[in-house]
Amino acid sequence: MDENKIIKYLSENINSLSKTEELLQHVSLGIGDDAAIINSQNTSVITTDSISEGVHFSRKWSSWENLGWKSITISQSDIASMGAQPIYSVINLCIPNDLSLNNIKDLYKGMVQATNKFGGQIVGGDTVRSNKIIISVTMVGSYQKNKPPPLPLKRSNAKPGDLIGVTGTLGCARGGLISYNKNLSTTSQNIKHLQSAFNRPVPKIKDGIMLSKYGATSAIDISDGLINDLEKLCLSSNVSSKINSKNIPTDQILQTTFPKTFLEIALVGGEDYELLFTINPDSFQNIQKQCPSTISIIGEISSPSTEIIKIDGNPIPNHLRKQLWNHFD
Protein backbone atom coordinates (compact mmCIF):
# COMPACT_ATOMS: atom_id res chain seq x y z
CA MET A 1 0.00 0.00 0.00
CA ASP A 2 1.37 3.42 -1.02
CA GLU A 3 0.18 6.52 0.90
CA ASN A 4 0.88 8.79 -2.08
CA LYS A 5 -1.41 6.70 -4.27
CA ILE A 6 -4.18 6.96 -1.67
CA ILE A 7 -3.78 10.74 -1.39
CA LYS A 8 -3.65 11.09 -5.19
CA TYR A 9 -6.83 9.05 -5.60
CA LEU A 10 -8.70 10.95 -2.89
CA SER A 11 -7.59 14.43 -3.96
CA GLU A 12 -8.62 13.68 -7.54
CA ASN A 13 -11.89 11.88 -6.83
CA ILE A 14 -13.58 12.85 -3.54
CA ASN A 15 -14.96 16.13 -4.85
CA SER A 16 -16.33 14.56 -8.03
CA LEU A 17 -17.95 11.72 -6.05
CA SER A 18 -19.56 14.15 -3.62
CA LYS A 19 -22.79 15.98 -4.33
CA THR A 20 -22.16 18.99 -2.12
CA GLU A 21 -21.16 21.79 -4.50
CA GLU A 22 -22.46 24.50 -2.14
CA LEU A 23 -20.24 23.29 0.70
CA LEU A 24 -17.23 22.88 -1.59
CA GLN A 25 -17.44 26.58 -2.46
CA HIS A 26 -16.30 27.33 1.12
CA VAL A 27 -13.31 24.94 0.94
CA SER A 28 -10.37 27.03 -0.24
CA LEU A 29 -7.90 24.20 0.44
CA GLY A 30 -8.88 20.53 0.72
CA ILE A 31 -7.26 17.08 0.55
CA GLY A 32 -3.53 16.99 -0.20
CA ASP A 33 -2.12 19.65 2.15
CA ASP A 34 -1.28 19.69 5.87
CA ALA A 35 -4.72 21.05 6.76
CA ALA A 36 -7.96 22.09 5.13
CA ILE A 37 -8.98 25.74 4.97
CA ILE A 38 -12.72 26.45 5.26
CA ASN A 39 -14.26 29.89 5.07
CA SER A 40 -17.25 30.00 7.42
CA GLN A 41 -19.10 32.29 9.82
CA ASN A 42 -21.33 29.60 11.31
CA THR A 43 -21.38 28.40 14.92
CA SER A 44 -19.61 25.05 14.83
CA VAL A 45 -20.15 21.73 16.59
CA ILE A 46 -17.15 19.37 16.52
CA THR A 47 -16.97 15.65 17.30
CA THR A 48 -14.62 12.75 16.74
CA ASP A 49 -15.19 8.99 16.82
CA SER A 50 -13.23 5.85 15.97
CA ILE A 51 -13.94 2.28 15.00
CA SER A 52 -11.32 -0.40 15.49
CA GLU A 53 -10.94 -3.83 13.91
CA GLY A 54 -11.56 -6.58 16.44
CA VAL A 55 -13.49 -4.23 18.73
CA HIS A 56 -16.23 -2.69 16.57
CA PHE A 57 -16.11 -4.83 13.42
CA SER A 58 -14.63 -7.87 11.77
CA ARG A 59 -13.51 -8.14 8.15
CA LYS A 60 -15.36 -11.46 8.09
CA TRP A 61 -18.64 -9.56 8.46
CA SER A 62 -18.12 -6.10 7.06
CA SER A 63 -17.82 -5.13 3.42
CA TRP A 64 -15.51 -2.18 2.76
CA GLU A 65 -18.46 -0.11 1.57
CA ASN A 66 -20.48 -0.81 4.73
CA LEU A 67 -17.44 -0.07 6.87
CA GLY A 68 -17.02 3.30 5.18
CA TRP A 69 -20.70 4.11 5.64
CA LYS A 70 -20.69 3.23 9.33
CA SER A 71 -17.47 5.11 10.12
CA ILE A 72 -19.12 8.31 8.86
CA THR A 73 -22.65 7.83 10.19
CA ILE A 74 -21.58 7.31 13.80
CA SER A 75 -20.03 10.79 13.79
CA GLN A 76 -23.06 12.20 11.96
CA SER A 77 -25.16 10.78 14.78
CA ASP A 78 -23.11 12.72 17.37
CA ILE A 79 -23.78 15.91 15.41
CA ALA A 80 -27.49 15.00 15.22
CA SER A 81 -27.70 14.62 18.99
CA MET A 82 -26.57 18.24 19.33
CA GLY A 83 -29.34 19.44 17.02
CA ALA A 84 -26.91 20.42 14.25
CA GLN A 85 -26.23 19.59 10.60
CA PRO A 86 -23.00 17.78 9.58
CA ILE A 87 -20.86 20.00 7.33
CA TYR A 88 -17.25 18.79 6.97
CA SER A 89 -15.15 15.81 8.06
CA VAL A 90 -11.53 14.64 8.09
CA ILE A 91 -10.56 10.97 8.11
CA ASN A 92 -7.63 9.37 9.94
CA LEU A 93 -7.02 5.95 8.42
CA CYS A 94 -4.77 3.36 10.12
CA ILE A 95 -4.35 0.39 7.78
CA PRO A 96 -2.19 -2.74 7.40
CA ASN A 97 -0.07 -3.47 4.34
CA ASP A 98 -2.36 -6.19 3.00
CA LEU A 99 -5.05 -3.75 1.86
CA SER A 100 -5.34 -2.91 -1.82
CA LEU A 101 -6.19 0.42 -3.41
CA ASN A 102 -9.52 -1.13 -4.47
CA ASN A 103 -10.28 -1.81 -0.78
CA ILE A 104 -9.66 1.88 -0.06
CA LYS A 105 -11.81 2.95 -3.02
CA ASP A 106 -14.71 0.83 -1.74
CA LEU A 107 -14.20 2.15 1.79
CA TYR A 108 -14.44 5.75 0.60
CA LYS A 109 -17.34 4.88 -1.67
CA GLY A 110 -19.33 4.00 1.47
CA MET A 111 -18.14 7.14 3.22
CA VAL A 112 -19.21 9.38 0.34
CA GLN A 113 -22.59 7.64 0.13
CA ALA A 114 -23.15 8.68 3.76
CA THR A 115 -21.90 12.26 3.33
CA ASN A 116 -23.99 12.71 0.18
CA LYS A 117 -27.09 11.61 2.05
CA PHE A 118 -26.59 13.21 5.47
CA GLY A 119 -23.80 15.81 5.13
CA GLY A 120 -20.20 16.02 6.28
CA GLN A 121 -18.17 16.65 3.11
CA ILE A 122 -14.72 15.00 3.38
CA VAL A 123 -12.04 17.71 3.17
CA GLY A 124 -8.90 15.97 4.40
CA GLY A 125 -7.30 13.37 6.64
CA ASP A 126 -4.23 11.22 7.23
CA THR A 127 -3.08 7.65 6.62
CA VAL A 128 -0.68 5.57 8.68
CA ARG A 129 0.48 1.96 8.70
CA SER A 130 -1.01 -0.20 11.44
CA ASN A 131 -1.37 -3.86 12.38
CA LYS A 132 -5.14 -3.53 12.22
CA ILE A 133 -7.69 -1.17 10.71
CA ILE A 134 -8.66 1.88 12.75
CA ILE A 135 -10.80 4.60 11.21
CA SER A 136 -11.17 7.90 13.07
CA VAL A 137 -13.52 10.57 11.80
CA THR A 138 -13.52 14.15 13.04
CA MET A 139 -16.65 15.97 11.93
CA VAL A 140 -17.76 19.58 12.05
CA GLY A 141 -21.43 20.47 12.22
CA SER A 142 -23.28 23.76 12.11
CA TYR A 143 -26.54 25.13 13.38
CA GLN A 144 -29.07 26.38 10.87
CA LYS A 145 -29.25 30.07 9.96
CA ASN A 146 -25.75 30.70 11.30
CA LYS A 147 -26.75 30.63 14.96
CA PRO A 148 -27.35 28.02 17.66
CA PRO A 149 -30.91 27.29 18.77
CA PRO A 150 -32.32 29.00 21.88
CA LEU A 151 -31.23 25.99 23.95
CA PRO A 152 -28.47 23.92 22.31
CA LEU A 153 -29.00 20.22 22.93
CA LYS A 154 -26.65 18.98 25.65
CA ARG A 155 -26.64 16.05 28.04
CA SER A 156 -26.72 18.30 31.08
CA ASN A 157 -30.06 20.14 30.88
CA ALA A 158 -32.56 17.43 31.89
CA LYS A 159 -34.87 18.43 34.76
CA PRO A 160 -37.08 16.41 37.14
CA GLY A 161 -40.51 16.07 35.57
CA ASP A 162 -39.18 15.98 32.00
CA LEU A 163 -40.40 13.12 29.84
CA ILE A 164 -37.83 10.69 28.43
CA GLY A 165 -38.24 9.95 24.74
CA VAL A 166 -36.51 7.96 22.00
CA THR A 167 -36.72 8.04 18.24
CA GLY A 168 -37.38 4.90 16.20
CA THR A 169 -36.91 1.40 17.60
CA LEU A 170 -34.13 -0.15 19.68
CA GLY A 171 -32.17 -3.39 19.60
CA CYS A 172 -31.92 -4.31 15.92
CA ALA A 173 -28.21 -3.49 15.65
CA ARG A 174 -27.44 -5.66 18.67
CA GLY A 175 -29.60 -8.38 17.11
CA GLY A 176 -27.47 -8.14 13.97
CA LEU A 177 -24.26 -8.48 15.99
CA ILE A 178 -25.65 -11.50 17.84
CA SER A 179 -26.54 -13.09 14.50
CA TYR A 180 -22.94 -12.69 13.32
CA ASN A 181 -21.51 -14.09 16.56
CA LYS A 182 -23.86 -17.08 16.40
CA ASN A 183 -23.41 -17.61 12.64
CA LEU A 184 -27.15 -17.41 12.05
CA SER A 185 -28.31 -17.95 8.48
CA THR A 186 -27.70 -14.91 6.29
CA THR A 187 -30.28 -16.16 3.77
CA SER A 188 -33.07 -15.27 6.20
CA GLN A 189 -34.68 -11.90 5.41
CA ASN A 190 -35.12 -11.30 9.15
CA ILE A 191 -31.40 -11.80 9.79
CA LYS A 192 -30.52 -9.59 6.83
CA HIS A 193 -32.74 -6.87 8.30
CA LEU A 194 -30.95 -7.04 11.66
CA GLN A 195 -27.49 -7.16 10.10
CA SER A 196 -28.34 -4.16 7.95
CA ALA A 197 -29.23 -2.22 11.11
CA PHE A 198 -25.77 -3.12 12.47
CA ASN A 199 -23.85 -2.36 9.26
CA ARG A 200 -25.76 0.65 7.89
CA PRO A 201 -27.03 2.82 10.77
CA VAL A 202 -29.07 5.90 9.86
CA PRO A 203 -28.22 9.09 11.78
CA LYS A 204 -31.29 11.04 12.86
CA ILE A 205 -30.19 14.44 11.56
CA LYS A 206 -33.65 15.91 10.92
CA ASP A 207 -34.97 14.59 14.24
CA GLY A 208 -32.10 16.26 16.09
CA ILE A 209 -32.77 19.59 14.41
CA MET A 210 -36.48 19.36 15.25
CA LEU A 211 -35.78 18.36 18.85
CA SER A 212 -33.52 21.37 19.19
CA LYS A 213 -36.01 23.72 17.54
CA TYR A 214 -39.10 22.61 19.45
CA GLY A 215 -37.90 22.46 23.01
CA ALA A 216 -36.10 19.22 23.94
CA THR A 217 -34.12 19.91 27.11
CA SER A 218 -31.31 17.39 26.57
CA ALA A 219 -30.25 14.65 24.16
CA ILE A 220 -27.68 11.93 23.51
CA ASP A 221 -27.36 9.42 20.70
CA ILE A 222 -27.73 5.76 21.65
CA SER A 223 -24.34 4.32 20.74
CA ASP A 224 -23.52 2.32 23.88
CA GLY A 225 -27.04 1.08 24.65
CA LEU A 226 -30.15 2.62 26.19
CA ILE A 227 -29.22 1.96 29.82
CA ASN A 228 -25.62 3.12 29.39
CA ASP A 229 -26.51 6.29 27.55
CA LEU A 230 -29.44 7.20 29.80
CA GLU A 231 -27.08 6.84 32.76
CA LYS A 232 -24.60 9.22 31.09
CA LEU A 233 -27.35 11.77 30.50
CA CYS A 234 -28.60 11.51 34.09
CA LEU A 235 -25.12 11.88 35.55
CA SER A 236 -24.45 14.94 33.38
CA SER A 237 -27.74 16.52 34.52
CA ASN A 238 -27.48 15.38 38.16
CA VAL A 239 -30.86 13.64 38.01
CA SER A 240 -32.28 10.11 38.15
CA SER A 241 -34.82 8.41 35.91
CA LYS A 242 -37.70 5.97 35.86
CA ILE A 243 -38.47 3.98 32.72
CA ASN A 244 -41.34 1.67 31.82
CA SER A 245 -40.12 -1.39 29.95
CA LYS A 246 -43.50 -1.83 28.25
CA ASN A 247 -42.91 1.44 26.42
CA ILE A 248 -39.51 0.53 25.00
CA PRO A 249 -40.02 0.55 21.19
CA THR A 250 -38.81 -2.64 19.49
CA ASP A 251 -38.95 -3.86 15.91
CA GLN A 252 -41.32 -6.72 15.05
CA ILE A 253 -38.51 -8.60 13.35
CA LEU A 254 -36.37 -8.37 16.48
CA GLN A 255 -39.28 -9.72 18.53
CA THR A 256 -39.78 -12.61 16.11
CA THR A 257 -36.09 -13.51 15.91
CA PHE A 258 -35.40 -13.26 19.65
CA PRO A 259 -38.81 -13.80 21.28
CA LYS A 260 -37.45 -14.41 24.80
CA THR A 261 -34.72 -11.77 24.91
CA PHE A 262 -35.75 -8.92 22.59
CA LEU A 263 -36.45 -6.55 25.48
CA GLU A 264 -33.08 -7.20 27.12
CA ILE A 265 -31.42 -6.67 23.75
CA ALA A 266 -33.20 -3.33 23.37
CA LEU A 267 -32.19 -2.22 26.88
CA VAL A 268 -28.49 -3.10 26.71
CA GLY A 269 -27.73 -3.26 23.00
CA GLY A 270 -25.65 -0.48 21.48
CA GLU A 271 -25.14 1.04 18.04
CA ASP A 272 -28.79 1.86 17.43
CA TYR A 273 -27.88 5.52 16.84
CA GLU A 274 -31.38 6.62 17.70
CA LEU A 275 -31.76 9.77 19.77
CA LEU A 276 -32.56 9.63 23.48
CA PHE A 277 -33.91 12.94 24.72
CA THR A 278 -35.81 14.69 27.50
CA ILE A 279 -38.57 17.24 27.12
CA ASN A 280 -41.01 19.21 29.25
CA PRO A 281 -44.47 17.58 28.99
CA ASP A 282 -45.95 20.87 27.69
CA SER A 283 -43.67 20.73 24.61
CA PHE A 284 -44.17 17.07 23.74
CA GLN A 285 -47.01 17.47 21.23
CA ASN A 286 -44.95 19.88 19.12
CA ILE A 287 -42.04 17.44 19.06
CA GLN A 288 -44.31 14.54 18.15
CA LYS A 289 -45.74 16.48 15.20
CA GLN A 290 -42.42 17.80 13.88
CA CYS A 291 -40.00 14.85 14.15
CA PRO A 292 -39.81 12.63 11.04
CA SER A 293 -39.30 9.50 13.17
CA THR A 294 -41.81 7.83 15.44
CA ILE A 295 -41.35 9.12 18.99
CA SER A 296 -41.88 6.93 22.06
CA ILE A 297 -42.07 8.20 25.64
CA ILE A 298 -40.38 5.59 27.81
CA GLY A 299 -40.23 7.26 31.19
CA GLU A 300 -39.63 10.36 33.27
CA ILE A 301 -36.73 12.24 34.83
CA SER A 302 -36.78 12.28 38.63
CA SER A 303 -34.83 13.99 41.41
CA PRO A 304 -31.34 12.60 42.06
CA SER A 305 -31.20 9.43 44.14
CA THR A 306 -28.86 6.52 44.83
CA GLU A 307 -30.44 4.58 41.94
CA ILE A 308 -29.76 6.53 38.76
CA ILE A 309 -32.12 4.37 36.68
CA LYS A 310 -35.12 2.37 37.80
CA ILE A 311 -36.87 0.00 35.41
CA ASP A 312 -40.52 -0.66 36.29
CA GLY A 313 -39.82 0.73 39.75
CA ASN A 314 -36.81 -1.54 40.42
CA PRO A 315 -33.02 -1.09 40.24
CA ILE A 316 -31.28 -2.42 37.12
CA PRO A 317 -30.97 -6.19 37.66
CA ASN A 318 -27.48 -7.67 37.83
CA HIS A 319 -27.96 -9.89 34.78
CA LEU A 320 -28.53 -6.74 32.70
CA ARG A 321 -25.64 -4.86 34.27
CA LYS A 322 -23.29 -7.69 33.28
CA GLN A 323 -24.32 -7.24 29.63
CA LEU A 324 -23.67 -3.48 29.45
CA TRP A 325 -21.03 -2.33 26.98
CA ASN A 326 -17.74 -1.16 28.48
CA HIS A 327 -15.12 0.28 26.10
CA PHE A 328 -12.26 -1.13 28.17
CA ASP A 329 -13.53 -4.61 29.07
Question: What is residue 325's three-state secondary structure?
Answer: coil
pLDDT at 250: 98
Q: Cβ neighbours of residue 167 under 8 Å, at least 6 residues apart?
A: 204, 207, 274, 275, 277, 291, 293, 294, 295
Residue type, 206: K
Q: What is the dihedral of CA 204, 155, 138, 223, to 10 degrees?
A: -60
pLDDT for residue 325 is more than 70: no
Are 114 and 242 part of one and the same domain?
A: no
Are 175 and 56 part of one and the same domain?
A: no
Are 188 and 133 part of one and the same domain?
A: no
Q: Count up the domains in the chain and report the number.
A: 2
Q: Rounded distance, CA 119 to CA 153, Å?
A: 19
Are 266 and 192 part of one and the same domain?
A: yes
Are 264 and 227 part of one and the same domain?
A: yes
Are 173 and 290 part of one and the same domain?
A: yes
Are 177 and 309 part of one and the same domain?
A: yes
Q: What is the mean pLDDT of residues 126-145?
A: 89
pLDDT for residue 31 is more than 60: no
Are 142 and 60 part of one and the same domain?
A: yes
Q: Give the model confidence (pLDDT) of 56-105 as tens digits.
A: 888 888 999 999 999 999 999 999 998 989 999 999 999 999 899 999 99
Handedness of CA 327, 272, 86, 73 (dihedral sign): positive
pLDDT at 281: 95
Are 134 and 208 part of one and the same domain?
A: no
Residue 326 lies in a domain: no
pLDDT at 33: 41
Residue 151 lies in a domain: no
pLDDT for residue 150 is more than 60: no
pLDDT for residue 28 is more than 80: no
Entry pTM: 0.87
Cβ pair 157, 218 in contact under 8 A: yes
pLDDT for residue 35 is more than 50: no
Chain-centre distance for alpha carbon 58: 19
Cβ pair 70, 137 in contact under 8 A: no
Q: What is the mean pLDDT of residues 10-20?
A: 63
pLDDT at 286: 87
pLDDT for residue 328 is more than 50: no
Are 209 and 137 part of one and the same domain?
A: no
pLDDT at 187: 74
Are 138 and 175 part of one and the same domain?
A: no
pLDDT for residue 146 is more than 50: no
Domain range enclosing 64: 3-146
Residue 154 lies in a domain: no
Are 176 and 298 part of one and the same domain?
A: yes
Q: What is the mean pLDDT of residues 254-281?
A: 95
* Among candidate residues 120, 146, 172, the one where a domain is terminated: 146
